[in-house]
Structure 1
């Protein structure tokens, strides 16, 4: 018989289990007597055993466990020396064994402790979250304790792959975080004493390992048919209603921190019937009000807009109620604003008219951590009576929610406080969601691409294709564009078929090859420019609006020539004209208008004659417009392209100029290049822009980001004629 570690004086009995390629376990049958495990070190004939390592005793037994990563010298039949800083010494000769040999005689509570230790320490210490073999070992340990009385019953199908298990009695009353192990995976999950929800059906047949329980809890496989949340919502029996409350309560608990649970709650409510909206709006009533908008900002917050008319002071308390809870709505959380329509309606009401500021608006940053399909404002009156003001259903896409917030109040009534507290925060949250959902665009090539383009023209299109034929006709007869590639980016994908058909026809007539980039949705000007730039191959990019048409041939050469002659410039812009030949753009600058302190974008000499001498001097300028923005590709990419956190389109061009300046580059104006700009033709077709606070939101964002840089920039003098080749 071979010698074992227990045959050696000063030795201890040990079994070595290879749990996975990333984890081994030393099982010490009688611990390490005389060794301070807090200062434990191990060594083999090949050298020290390196950390990480984790020590665990098993209560109610003599077993101790040591979890380590595999390494040379840590093998069955190879001596190990154990010691501590106080001089204690033991020798180990690890034997081979199995999970059943080591743990088969343990109580369920001890097995729970072993499996929980392997799951927790293996996941954290040895980064074994994706270690299928480690999960299988934990599953094998837990399986030794399987008992019918400790089984969890699958009860509800909450989603396509999401199950709720009803847990057995005996768990701690508080919500807990435990480990769940399947045959090839393990995960940390939250649960209550009654229910566990998992969105991965591969854990069926696995085990929940709740600390302090009587043993591992077996997650029984689900039967072929389980009721859905929708099924339960329609049931009237006590058992069905109880299961429905159990499932929705657990989802609501987790929705505050887990996006998957929040989405499940949202999806479930979308298919449930909504209540009709309710308001109190009869002039003969002593009180009136409505909750007109209750918009989830998709990040846990809620935007509210409505009105209250209370000439006799009847309102005692306001309570905002959602599907999964309620909260007091304090007067200081609401900002009041004028509602002329309400004032007119109640001008001759018998109990008195409406207050000057009957409207209210609010953003509650954490009111919708648990999403609600429909919100209500419960109004308690001084008499003790209550009135419910019910909003329209509130669940919608981030894009529509963003536009509803931006259209929630007339621009004339927006104060800096309303913008800062009620508009900007939800719009920022929602716009981030919109941009995070961008899909990869589709690219269509019409004609054989230019072999080695000198410049790439990137032209976003949103609905307005009226000027396309004029633009392409001008390009077709201009020899300066022979080495240019044309990239159109379509932001209104519903026009894709018609636009592609037209581009192929224009290619057949004019011969210019075209690349068409089709966005999945309208993500705004910045995203369109970046999508086109990603397909571009030239060292120079020219961002051009779809409503810009060259005034004459040869307009491109002066722009490229200026970049070549002035290496300190990263970008240059042309002279832009209105249809009546007056100036639209001769460089962009910033000025403070309106008394609000914000910096606005302005254009030099706007509206003045085309031949104005001062407008015919090539010079450095603070910025240029995005209607025709010629930039070195290397500089464009170095600053991250066009910023996409402006909504729809506004201020991205000046933002790009300021980013380029912050990187040490200059911006130039080239009057020898002339184009007509039929201004704001596309953006006028965007309902989410023209009738909302979009421009004010973008201006505020731009001001907060760049106010200091702009002030320093505009403190400089800007003389005319500072670039080569100025006068026409």
Structure 2
């Protein structure tokens, strides 16, 4: 489900409707008309020769678009939560006369008229962001398109898999109640030949390979005897598994149009996702599916082509398109299907990758601290940091500075950058170039392996010191507390608002009560530091700037590289240290500026990136639920 950003609503209060402005469909401003009336276009995407437009409005506004042939409103829980019961979502479709790049809209509120223009996206990833409610409207949209735009109706079938699986590469299997003979049905649309639904029907829509011997299988199965039905995936003659056993079941309203209204009740749980693994990774795989029901056994038609991906990150894109954050069903899907599947993707780790170390300048012979800065997507912050480090004596006498490039695409440019800035700022540092993209935890672990000091500082590339001497200040406070396992600092936004002053754990009901990392006071003015409260114990501290012992980090196996890209590794680290009797502190009188998530902002697909964050949150909660619950209970006493 698409979620409403309350920040957008507050900031747009009193706006007219963006006159004459071209809007990005994924980041469209909210139009507020006064009297509590508002509207927002969330997405506009091309499918064939039509455009799909989705968004929400309150009761009064009406959005008119030339060429519209389909328009439906539907309940949106997120809109009702933020706006009230008058809010609802809409899905519209209009015919495109040619290769148009923009759509002109007219918004009508009573007698008022507003005009606007929105950009049409050709990115198919936007389609995946359609909410559950909108997907339920797609069969009606398909029927409307079929009447006036038959070619586009076919495109809709393929893009949305409105599916009989013929649109996704497979064929449906229908088992006749009396003869148990397989009948092949034509492609969408399918109509039931009588008012009596088939005894059983099934199809495989999609198969995604996970590692050497794992598969996520997506399909559907309808039967009047669900307890006795089996859909057996055969890996090789001696190994098979029932896809319906412990599968995650989903609604498939498209099947009602395909097979008739008599199966409406069964369609509510007809779809399934099933993660399965071959018992043997060595045996050659020869996949086939057999349908069993009441003693009858029938081979399914040829399966769709198995999807294989060269890089695990690409596989997560495909896997997470089946995932919509929120609620208990999300947890069930992650616990039993998507979580194990993603965990078994063959990501490269710091221990099995190659790297190249290049030194610039003469590093301190016996450094007190090794400072590790991972880089991904950009390296321009290196010069900003070096310009500040150059005026700090610690970086000439006590700091072993290591930049870790975790983006092989940028290797050549990064080499040139280092060679250019090293003689300008005369700060000795090492450049460590990874041959693989490892993610935040892996990049730090790679740097730790090269660290020469007993103490470490993990530092983000977008953290800039406000004054010199901060490394020595951290060192003094860390060494003054023998029970300190991790020491963070106060981080500020460029406008001096508070960004980090320690973390707390709290449950988030909208994410199935998973534990999230909460930053108290974030965004508020940073209050003056009370000398008596300059060093405070915290539940966890961010690794945007974090000091710890190298031996402690190695004793827990380094940062956990099971988190994808970068989220929750720092709180995971603090909890692992706490399990060993080490506490986390924040030195509030040591302050640095943090621009925050500058590398992660480079990901074009924000919908996928947000889903990765939810996956990491789920993984973190499942790993540390008992310890976090114990710490929160003790805090409440």
TM band (smaller chain): 0.5 to 0.7
Contact 1:587 1:621 in 2 (8 A): yes
- What are the Cα deviations for residues 434-464 of structure 1, in whole angstroms up to 9, with x where unaligned? 4388223221112222222222110111113
Relative distance call for 1:461 and 1:308 in structure 2 (3 A) is farther
1:492, CA displacement in angstroms? Answer: 0.9
Relative distance call for 1:338 and 1:617 in structure 2 (3 A) is farther
1:572 maps to 2:487 = yes
In structure 1, the residue matched to 2:388 is 474
Contact 1:312 1:351 in 2 (8 A): no
TM-score (norm 2): 0.60
- Structure 2: 5+ residue runs without aligned partners? 1-167, 173-186, 193-200
1:609 maps to 2:525 = yes
Contact 1:577 1:674 in 2 (8 A): yes
Distance (Å, rounded) in 1 between the aligned partners of 2:453 and 2:278: 47
1:533, CA displacement in angstroms? Answer: 1.3
Pairing 1:542-553 to 2, within 5 Å after superposition: 542-553=457-468
Distance (Å, rounded) in 1 between the aligned partners of 2:547 and 2:625: 25
What is the SS of the residue equivalent to 1:695?
A: helix
Pairing 1:73-472 to 2, within 5 Å after superposition: 277-279=169-171, 281-284=187-190, 286=192, 289-298=203-212, 300-307=213-220, 318-322=231-235, 327=240, 329=242, 331-338=244-251, 343=253, 349=258, 351-352=260-261, 355-366=267-278, 369=281, 375=287, 377=289, 388=301, 390-397=303-310, 399=312, 403=316, 406-412=319-325, 415-431=330-346, 434-435=348-349, 438-472=352-386
In structure 1, the residue matched to 2:422 is 507
1:700 maps to 2:618 = yes
Distance (Å, rounded) in 2 between the aligned partners of 1:410 and 1:687: 18
Pick from 668, 674, 683: which aligns with 2:585?
668
* Greater C-alpha radius of gyration: 1
Relative distance call for 1:389 and 1:308 in structure 2 (3 A) is farther
TM-score (norm 1): 0.53
What is the SS of the residue equivalent to 1:702?
A: helix
What is the SS of the residue equivalent to 1:430?
A: coil
Relative distance call for 1:384 and 1:645 in structure 2 (3 A) is closer
Pick from 410, 435, 444: which aligns with 1:529?
444
In structure 2, the residue matched to 1:587 is 502
Relative distance call for 1:708 and 1:420 in structure 2 (3 A) is same
In structure 2, the residue matched to 1:643 is 560
What is the SS of the residue equivalent to 2:400?
A: strand
What is the SS of the residue equivalent to 1:549?
A: strand
Pick from 532, 537, 544: which aligns with 1:627?
544
- What are the Cα deviations for residues 636-662 of structure 1, in whole angstroms up to 9, with x where unaligned? 333333222333322221121122222
1:584, CA displacement in angstroms? Answer: 1.4
What is the SS of the residue equivalent to 2:585?
A: strand
Contact 1:277 1:392 in 2 (8 A): yes
Relative distance call for 1:640 and 1:290 in structure 2 (3 A) is closer
Relative distance call for 1:379 and 1:551 in structure 2 (3 A) is farther
- Structure 1: 5+ residue runs without aligned partners? 1-275, 720-728
Q: Aligned-pair RMSD on alpha carbons?
A: 3.7
Pairing 1:50-69 to 2, within 5 Å after superposition: none
> Does 1 or 2 have the higher relative contact order (CA < 8 Å, sep 6+)?
2
Pairing 1:9-88 to 2, within 5 Å after superposition: none
1:398, CA displacement in angstroms? Answer: 7.1
What is the SS of the residue equivalent to 1:415?
A: helix
What is the SS of the residue equivalent to 1:412?
A: coil
Contact 2:235 2:278 in 1 (8 A): no
How many equivalent pairs are there?
437
1:612, CA displacement in angstroms? Answer: 5.7
1:499, CA displacement in angstroms? Answer: 0.5
